[in-house]
Amino acid sequence: MFSTIVLPLDGLITDTTYLHYECFLDACRSFNITIPNELSFEEQKVFRSHQWLEEIDNLSHQQKEELILEKNRLYDDELDDIDDDDIYPGILALITDAHKQNVLIYAISDDDLANKLIEQLELPSYIKLITSNDLKKVTYDILVIDDLVTLNAMDNKPIISILLSQNDLSYSTDFTIQNTEELTLCFFKKNLGGNQ
């Protein structure tokens, strides 16, 4: 039995990881900071959060804050051009089917512009947006992630964890999938037990 599924908003519901990365590239240029501009998707994921800025020693705290503000300004502008083509395949069907079966969907994001992204894409209103701090306070059955940092940071582990990854390495999750179209209620019911 399961009643709750957690999906990251950036990188699993929506194809926006590259936007975070490109906006950080542009923001860094204004501070004369060079970061690699041809990273793989796996490498770009780190730019969805601001933690990587801790690695830059030559910027003051104030400069780091200004860099984040500039990145967010650029990202905000880019969100105006986003559309339903930026929703990963199969995700809307999963969300709709889950809602019909009274399965709650949490979309996890720590981004200040997450609500704008949801509104711009006209994602269903029954998706509940939460932060990673909120996730520590709620109960959930299934966690689907695209990076192991998220799983390792969780205090309360899900009944089942699924990693979306393009490589065939073994991970500390229950399942590894290679595309979002594999995420269906049938998949969850088969591997966890049905929601009656």
Q: Residue 173 maps to which CATH number?
A: 3.40.50.1000
Q: Look at residues 62, 79, 96 and tell me which one is the last residue of a structural domain.
A: 79
Mean pLDDT of 14-24: 89
Q: Do residues 74 and 146 both lie within one domain?
A: no
Identify whether residues 169 and 154 lie together within a single domain: yes
The residue with greater pLDDT, 32 or 88, is 88
Structure tokens at 10: 């950036």
Instruction: Give me the mean pLDDT over the 131-145 stretch.
Output: 87
Quick one: tokens of 83?
Answer: 């559309």
Please enumerate in sequence order all residues whose Cβ is within 8 A of that of 18, keeping only pairs 6 or more positions apart, or say none.
41, 44
Does one domain contain both 72 and 91?
Answer: no
Contact between 164 and 181 under an 8 Å Cβ cutoff? The reply is: no
Higher pLDDT, residue 183 or 167: 183
What band does 167 get if pLDDT is binned at 50, 70 and 90?
A: low
Q: Note down the domain range covering 34.
A: 17-79
Q: How many domains does the chain have?
A: 2
For the entire predicted model, the pTM comes to: 0.83
**pLDDT reported for residue 79:** 95
188 shares its domain with 96:
yes
- Based on the domain organization, do 21 and 96 belong to the same domain? no
Instruction: Give the pLDDT of residue 100.
Output: 94
Q: Are 16 and 114 in contact (CB under 8 A)?
A: no
Taking each continuous run of H as one helix and of E as one strand, the counts in the chain are 8, 6
- What does the DSSP assignment read for 21-60? HHHHHHHHHHTT----SS--HHHHGGGGSSGGGGG-TTS-
Q: Return the higher-pLDDT residue of 160 and 139.
A: 139
The span from the first CA to the last CA of the chain, in angstroms, equals 7
Q: Are residues 74 and 107 in the same domain?
A: no
* Residue 117 structure tokens: 């992204």
Determine which of 21-35, 45-59, 116-130 has the lowest per-residue pLDDT on average: 45-59
User: Do residues 91 and 144 both lie within one domain?
Assistant: yes
Alpha-helical regions (H) of 80-147 = 91-100, 114-120, 132-135
Quote the pLDDT of residue 152: 59
Taking the CA atoms of 145, 151, 154 and 156 in sequence, report the sign of the dihedral they define.
positive
pLDDT tens digits for 48-96? Answer: 666 666 667 677 889 888 988 999 999 999 999 999 999 999 999 999 9
* CA dist., res. 132 & res. 109, Å (int): 7
**94 and 58 within one domain:** no
Give the end of a domain, one of 58, 79, 100: 79
Residue 14 has pLDDT above 90, yes or no: yes
Nearest to 21 by CA among 52, 44, 53: 44
Average pLDDT, the chain: 83
